[in-house]
Chain A
Amino acid sequence: MASVTDQRFPLFLCLLASLLLARPAAAEDYLSQADFLKQAFAAVTPEVKTLWLNNDHKQAATSIFGHAYNGMRVRYWQGDNSRRAWIVEEIGKERPISIGVITEGKEVKDVVILAFRESRGWEVKNRFFTEQFANATLTTDQNLDRKVDGITGATLSVRAVTSSVRWVLYLNSQLDLPAS
């Protein structure tokens, strides 16, 4: 009679093989800019707008990201209502993560990871993580109005995404909302 160890041996081999064949999700594009904008604005994609960063913006960026913001302007797409789509990049550990954020009014409507180039931390692309930002707003001290649960092994990516969402909400608050 085969022992329990013998019976589990094929399972062990399968597990070992899957571990050996598993590859990190490096330089992976999950969603194109065009598809993201279609998701944000169902009918017609509006023209892109530009927000030039002043000293106040840059100081806020330093406070939010913990480092100086590398760039002089940010692009966003403004819909007919107060809906806006933003694409920002932030480095998790070594390589930039492209993050799409849709805002409406003062709230986050959706967060999507467009491209992930790091070797670890790709779990932030999962909906169970990004859904946490739905309807999030910014407090007066530029923090989110809620606690975002982290992911084991993806601490830096979680931090990068969370900071980017805060940055977008801050920039969103700097734009005058169109009259409804």
Chain B
Amino acid sequence: MKPAQPHRRRPSMPMAARLILWHRRVGILLLPVMIMLAVTGLLINHSQSLGWYEKPVYARWIGALYGIPPRQTDQGFKAGTVWVSQVGDEIYFNQQGIEHCSSTLLGAVSWQDNIVVLCDQRAQLRTNEGQLIENLPELPTNATGLSNQNDQLWLFLSNSQPQWLDDNSWSWQAAVDATPATAVAPQLLPADLKSSLNQEQPLPGISRERFLLDLHSGRLFGDFGVLVVDAASLLLVFLAASGAWSWLRRRLHRQGNTPSRRPRN
């Protein structure tokens, strides 16, 4: 049996060698972050000329990073042969975006071979292709829905009886006789239309430039991302300092060992 060897301490590395070792390690560690910072920085510099300050972002995974739930719609109003629906702030006639509307789409009905759309406290008459014919008269109070009964257009109101559109006086009139019981209700969209509408919806308020800025600063990944970019910035300073010191030390060392070309007197 061999006697137990006494524990040997590894000979300590010189300071310079240790610095070079850490310079390499930090360099490899920083490589992906530095590539990301360089690429995003370059793109941010040119984002104005590329028009990326206004181009939207569509990817759902980016929306998940921002905490923005995907915009989904599964209901719409059937007006004749056209499905009128709302995805985000946009009103769609089938698959075609027609008009911006920041509030909720309250109704759409077929009327006089065209379509009346109620959104944003405005009722508009549009062709079946979505082209605006005209705005209907100013709504009396807060409207809640629409209905077409016997080719008469009815407007449902939040605090009073429904009113109908008098085409002769071009004004909303209070009902004298029977009024329709309910406004048209939204229905489930056909599966293929729903899937088409719900794919590739832009993320609200997120442009490509905003995404790049948040990726560059690390904010896209929350506090952790910011800390990583902070650490990478400090380590980059270390890399520059250690690289410069190492280069300077070698140069001085080389100059010290190299015999002078001119003989000394």
Chain A residues packing against B (C-beta within 8 Å): 29, 32-34, 45, 47-48, 70-75, 77, 89, 98, 114-115
Contacts and interface: CB of A to CB of B under 8 A. Distances in A.
B138 A98 contact: yes
Contact of B168 (A32, A47, A98): A47
Contacts of B171: 33-34
Interface of B: 127, 131-135, 137-138, 167-171
Nearest to A117: B121
A72 B135 CA distance: 10
B134 A74 contact: yes
SS class of chain A's interface: helix, strand, loop or mixed? strand
Contact of B138 (A29, A47, A72): A29
Contacts of A34: 171
Contacts of A115: 138
B169 A72 contact: no
Contact of B169 (A32, A47, A73, A89): A47
A71 B135 contact: yes
B170 A72 contact: no
B132 A33 contact: no
Nearest to A52: B133
12 contacts: A33-B137, A33-B170, A33-B171, A34-B171, A48-B169, A70-B132, A71-B132, A72-B127, A72-B132, A73-B133, A75-B134, A114-B138
B138 A33 contact: yes
Contacts of B134: 71-75
A75 B125 CA distance: 13
Nearest to B167: A48
Interface of B: prevailing SS: loop
B171 to A, nearest CB: 6
The 7 closest A-B pairs by CB, nearest first: A48-B170, A72-B133, A47-B168, A70-B132, A71-B132, A71-B134, A73-B134
A153 B134 CA distance: 30
Nearest to B124: A71
Contacts of A71: 132-135
A48 B165 CA distance: 13
Contacts of B168: 47-48
A89 B167 CA distance: 19
A72 to B, nearest CB: 5
A98 B171 CA distance: 15
Given A34-B171, A45-B169, A89 B135 contact: yes
B26 to A, nearest CB: 52
Contacts of B132: 70-72
Given A33-B137, A45-B169, A48-B170, 9 more contacts: A48-B168, A48-B169, A71-B133, A72-B131, A72-B132, A75-B134, A77-B170, A114-B138, A115-B138
A77 B170 CA distance: 9
A48 B133 CA distance: 16
Contacts of A98: 138
Contacts of B137: 33
B87 to A, nearest CB: 21
A45 B134 CA distance: 21
Contacts of A72: 127, 131-134
A48 B168 CA distance: 6
Nearest to B131: A72
A124 B66 CA distance: 42
